[in-house]
Structure 1
Amino acid sequence: MALILMLTYLALCGIMYWTQRSFLYFPQPATGSSGPERILDLRVDDVRVRVSVRNREGADALVYFGGNAEDVTRSLDDYAQAFPDHAIYMLHYRGYGGSTGAPSEAALHRDAKVLLDLVKSRHSRVMLVGRSLGSGVAVRLAAENPVERLVLITPYDSIVNVGREQFPWLPVGWLLKDRFESVRWAPAVKARTLILMAERDEIIAAERTRALHRTFASGVASLEVVPGADHNSIMGSTGVFGRMR
C-alpha cells in the first residue's frame, strides 16, 4: 500500500510539473474596445509580441504588465483617462491578444526589456505598473533599469511561496519552472514605489504582499491597503487611480 501511495504521489508530481504553466498562464484574446489605441508589434526571438498603445508626445510614459488572465486592452481606456499626459504601452504576453509564442518567465522578461528600451528611446520619464503576475515582471525590470516610478497592484513576494500556500501537499520549490522571485530583485529597486494591496485578496495572501514590501530598501516603497477590495475588483475601487497619480 505504501508503495502504491508513493507511486501515485510521484505521478501527481510529474503531471503537475509538465502541466504547471497551464495553472499559471491563462491567455486571453484582445477583446477590448479599439478606442484611441493602436497596435505596436515587436519582434523578439522571432516571435511577434503585441503592445496596445495610446500615443502621446512628451516626456511621460506608462508601461503596464497585466495579470495572468487579463486582456490588457480592457484597461487601456481607464489608464488613458487617469493619466492623460502619458503615453501608454500595454504588453500582451506571448500567446495573449495576438502575440505569438508561449508564455514563460524568461520570455516575459525578455519582451519587457525590449519594450522598455523602445519606450525609453521615446520618453525620458517612465512609470512601470505591474498587476498580479505582472508585478513580478515590473519589479525585476525596475531593478535592472532606471525608471521614474513603480506601481505594484496585488503583488507577491514569490510565485514559489504563493504556490506553496495553494498546493501545500506538493514540493513546489522543486517543481516550479517560472518562479518570479520578486524578493530577489526588490532590494535593488531605486524608483519610488507604491504597493496597492486588496484588503480581501483571495488569491495573494496579505503576508505575501507584506513580505515583498519588507524587502525594498528603506524609504523606497509605501504600502497602501485598498478597503473592501478583492483581487479582481481592486481597480474598480474608489480612489485607486488617484493613489497611483
Structure 2
Amino acid sequence: MMQRSFIYFPTGAVEHRFGDMTFENDGASTTSIVLNKGQDKAIIYFGGNAENVAFTAPEFEQAFEPTLLEPELSELESSPYSVYLVNYRGYGGSEGSPSEAALLSDALALYDRLVLTHESVFVIGRSLGSGVATYIASERPLKKLVLVTPFDSIQSIAQKQFPFYPMSILLKDKFNSVERAGSIYSDTLILVAEDDKVVRRIHTDKLIESLVNRAPEVVLIEGAGHNDISQYSAYYQSISVFLNSH
C-alpha cells in the first residue's frame, strides 16, 4: 500500500563481520545480527524505519563491553548479554515486505523463541522499533523494556503533520503504543532526544502518561537529535545502568 512507503524505508543487505541468525515465521525468512552468542541473558533490538542494523552492531559491540555492563568482570571475560539486532521484513536481506502486522508477528515469535534459550530476554525499541517493543511488552511479561525516541502512535504523528487529512482512515499501520500501554507492567526506560524534530516531545509525553501501571524512568539526552542520539555517551550508559539494576 502507498501509505507504507511513508513509514518504511527498507535498507538492503550489506557485508559485515558479525554472526547471523535466520528465523522463519508465517512463510517469511528474516535475519538478525547476533553478538556474543550463547549468554544466559539476551537483548532484542528493534531499530528505526530507515536503520540498517549492520551499522548499529559495532556501536553495541563497543558499548556493551564487560567493564561497562559488569564492572567486576575482567576485560577478558565475555559480556553477559547476547544481542539480537533484528532486520525487519524487507530490510537487510530479510524476505517479504514490511507491515505492522508482519513486524509484530515476527517480533513476538522471535521473543517466544529466545525465551526458550535464555534465562532473561530484554527488549530495546528505537523510533519505529518502539512500537514493536511496546507490543511485545503488552503481550508478554517482559521484565525490562527500553524505548528510544518513542511515540504515542504513528497516526498521531501523521495527523499533527497533515491536519487536513483523515489519517485514521488513510493509515493502515498505526503502531498505537498508547492503546497498548495499559497492558504493560515492565520496568521501562525511555530515552528522549532533546532536539528531536521527528518525534516531537508531545508524542513521547503522551506515551509516558499512558504507562500507568509502572511509571517509566525518563532520561533526556541533552543536545541529541532523533537520528544521532546513540552517538552521545549518555545513551548507552543509561541503557547499561538500567539493564543491570535490580
TM over 0.5: yes
Q: Within the alignment, does 1:95 sit opposite 2:78 as a pair?
A: no
Query: What CA distance in whole angstroms lies between the structure 1 residues aligned with 2:119 and 2:84?
Result: 14
Structure possessing the higher relative contact order (Cα contacts under 8 Å, 6 or more residues apart): 2
Q: Within the alignment, does 1:234 sit opposite 2:229 as a pair?
A: yes
The one-letter amino acid paired with 1:30 is A
Aligned-pair distance for 1:218? Answer: 4.7
Residue 42 of structure 1 aligns with which residue? 23
Contact 2:48 2:127 in 1 (8 A): yes
Q: Within the alignment, does 1:63 sit opposite 2:58 as a pair?
A: no
Contact 1:56 1:85 in 2 (8 A): no
Stretch of structure 1 that moved more, 171-180 or 220-229: 220-229
Q: Within the alignment, does 1:162 sit opposite 2:157 as a pair?
A: yes
Residues 32 and 207 of structure 1: is their aligned pair in 2 closer, same or farther, counting only changes over 3 Å? farther
Structure 1 outlier segments of 4+, above 4 Å: none
1:203-218 equivalences under 5 Å are 203-218=198-213
Query: What CA distance in whole angstroms lies between the structure 2 residues aligned with 1:122 and 1:209?
Result: 33
Aligned-pair distance for 1:85? Answer: 1.7
Structure 2 unaligned segments of length 5 or more: list them: 65-78, 241-246
Residue 175 of structure 1 aligns with which residue? 170
Contact 2:182 2:213 in 1 (8 A): no
- With structure 1 as the length reference, what TM-score do the two structures score? 0.89
Q: Within the alignment, does 1:189 sit opposite 2:184 as a pair?
A: yes
Identity %: 40
Root-mean-square deviation (CA, aligned residues, Å) is 1.3
SS in 2 for 1:73: helix
Aligned-pair distance for 1:32? Answer: 6.1
Contact 2:185 2:214 in 1 (8 A): no
The one-letter amino acid paired with 1:43 is E
Residue 112 of structure 2 aligns with which residue? 117
Aligned-pair distance for 1:48? Answer: 1.0
Give the structure with the larger helix fraction.
1
SS in 1 for 2:57: helix
The one-letter amino acid paired with 1:80 is E
Residue 16 of structure 2 aligns with which residue? 33
Contact 2:189 2:216 in 1 (8 A): yes
SS in 2 for 1:53: strand
Q: Larger Rg: 1 or 2?
A: 1
SS in 2 for 1:20: helix
Structure 1 unaligned segments of length 5 or more: list them: 1-17
Query: What CA distance in whole angstroms lies between the structure 2 residues aligned with 1:235 and 1:64?
Result: 13
Residue 152 of structure 1 aligns with which residue? 147
Query: What CA distance in whole angstroms lies between the structure 1 residues aligned with 2:204 and 2:3?
Result: 23
- With structure 2 as the length reference, what TM-score do the two structures score? 0.88
Aligned-pair distance for 1:148? Answer: 2.2
Residue 24 of structure 1 aligns with which residue? 7
